[in-house]
């Protein structure tokens, strides 16, 4: 693991997700940009001292010489520290799983894709919300034609934790997310807007072609955006609305989506992930994991019988499990199946960075519509 040491939030989530299915073992790490903190964090995790490294370069160089070397790295750092460890790991023969957004900038993302294609190694991106069983079911229902032609998509991601300038009060998670040197050109758009964009494209199978964005910095003195409202056009002619905000005081982690087709609607909310609502003029059905006849994809991503809720960590774990199974099969000369390969890749990462750059450009432009960046 690169990053995720003492005081980090997402590193612990990644470690739990990786461990749930018993298919991944944490064997080493460079857990902080400070060598002393990295080594102390490794001790907290009961790793041997010789495999708690001062930085990712030392880790990769020393691990590649070990007979029991690591197989892959997980990158859980702020955005500006995604590209360099991913590049070095791939070029030294290690598979990579990385937090989103994939890189600091779109050019970096494109360079990373070239390296992945050149090495032939596996790369996964943790757009973890696609790991939910009911998101898988929604995607399969759309594919099967239950909704008919998709006409409209409404996807929202409201949070309220940045309603005040807590980055000035020593809040670590707020500090780097609001710092353009570490976060990139976007704040909320990159942090949570990319999740909303990815969820909309994953469920519908459609691609955003152009957009019109109103991007704001609501909290006084904040450098990066904390609120965005975006109109979308999709490649089948469907229209859409994407709203992402971190100043919605009273909202926690309210990612939700409504997909409207000519024959009905699907609705899913991340804070109540067990329920997928299918509505039509004539009726209403609620899908739940392990209840009734579901798609093979939904069943493949459910672990326990009905009545036992699964949530955020299990969805996150589905990304790790599929990545692990794909890596293991490829290492053994076997072909991964369609469920193994159901995880976000570098292409999803590039779409996310294209989305970020297009939204920010649109927010600065007087043009009504801005074409999705290539």
CA dist 269 to 281, 310, 336, 362, Å?
A: 21, 14, 30, 28
Sequence-distant (6+) residues with CB within 8 A of 337 are none
Topology, domain 9-121: Rossmann fold (3.40.50)
Residues 272-311 pLDDT 10s: 999 999 999 999 999 999 999 999 999 999 999 999 999 9
Q: What is the distance between the alpha carbons of residues 109 and 222, in angstroms, rounded to a whole number?
A: 26
Percent of the chain with pLDDT over 70: 100
Instruction: Check pLDDT > 90 for residue 262.
Output: yes
Q: Quote the DSSP letter at residue 50.
A: G
> Is the four-CA dihedral 323, 326, 330, 332 of positive or negative sign?
positive
pLDDT recorded at residue 7 = 86
Domain 132-296+348-364, CATH: 3.30.360.10
User: Where do the domains of the chain lie?
Assistant: 9-121, 132-296+348-364
Q: What is the distance between the alpha carbons of residues 259 and 153, in angstroms, rounded to a whole number?
A: 5
Answer whether 9-121 and 132-296+348-364 agree in fold: no
Tokens of 178: 């609001």
Of 215, 159, 172, the C-alpha closest to 355 is 215
Residues 242-251 pLDDT 10s: 999 999 999 9
Q: Which helix (H) or strand (E) holds 74?
A: strand 72-75
Sequence-distant (6+) residues with CB within 8 A of 233 are 208, 209, 210, 211, 239, 240, 369
- Global pTM reads 0.96
Which one has a higher pLDDT value, 307 or 193?
193
Of 169, 159, 170, 306, the C-alpha closest to 246 is 159
Whether the link from the prior residue into 5 is cis, omega within 30° of 0, is no
Instruction: Check pLDDT > 90 for residue 323.
Output: yes
Tokens of 263: 């024959």
Average pLDDT over residues 43-51: 96
| DSSP calls for 258-294 | EEEETTEEEEEETTSTT-EEEEETTEEEEE-TTSSS-
Indicate the angle between helix axes 312-331 and 10-19, nearest 10 degrees.
60
């Amino acid at each position: 693991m690169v990053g995720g040491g003492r005081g980090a939030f997402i590193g612990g989530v990644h470690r739990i997700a990786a461990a749930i299915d018993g298919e991944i073992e944490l064997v080493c790490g460079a857990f902080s940009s400070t060598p002393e903190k990295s080594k102390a964090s490794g001790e907290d995790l009961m790793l041997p001292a010789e495999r708690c490294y001062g930085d990712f370069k030392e880790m990769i160089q020393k691990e590649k010489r070990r007979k029991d070397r690591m197989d892959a790295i997980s990158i859980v750092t702020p955005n500006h520290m995604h590209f360099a460890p991913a590049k070095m790991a791939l070029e030294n023969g290690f598979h990579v799983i990385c937090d989103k957004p994939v890189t600091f900038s779109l050019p970096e993302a494109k360079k990373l894709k070239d390296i992945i294609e050149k090495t032939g190694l596996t790369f996964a991106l943790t757009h973890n919300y696609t790991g939910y069983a009911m998101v898988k079911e929604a995607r399969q229902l759309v594919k099967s034609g239950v909704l008919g032609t998709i006409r409209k998509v409404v996807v929202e991601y409201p949070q309220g934790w940045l309603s005040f300038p807590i980055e000035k009060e020593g809040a670590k998670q707020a500090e780097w997310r609001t710092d353009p040197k570490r976060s990139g050109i976007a704040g909320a758009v990159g942090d949570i807007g990319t999740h909303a964009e990815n969820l909309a494209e994953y469920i519908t199978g459609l691609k955003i072609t152009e957009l019109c964005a109103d991007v704001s910095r609501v909290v006084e003195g904040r450098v990066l955006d904390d609120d965005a409202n975006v109109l979308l056009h999709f490649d089948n002619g469907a229209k859409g609305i994407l709203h992402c905000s971190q100043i919605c005081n009273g909202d926690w982690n309210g990612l939700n989506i409504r997909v409207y087709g000519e024959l009905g609607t699907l609705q899913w909310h991340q804070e109540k992930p067990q329920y997928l609502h299918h509505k039509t003029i004539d009726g209403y059905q609620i899908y739940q994991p392990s209840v009734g006849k579901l798609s093979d994809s939904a069943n493949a991503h459910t672990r326990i019988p009905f009545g036992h809720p699964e949530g955020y960590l299990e969805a996150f774990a589905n990304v790790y499990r599929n990545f692990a199974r794909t890596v293991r099969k490829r290492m053994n000369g076997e072909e991964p199946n369609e469920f193994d390969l159901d995880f976000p890749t570098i292409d999803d990462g590039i779409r996310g960075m294209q989305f970020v750059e297009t939204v920010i450009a649109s927010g600065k432009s007087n043009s009504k519509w801005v074409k999705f960046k290539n």
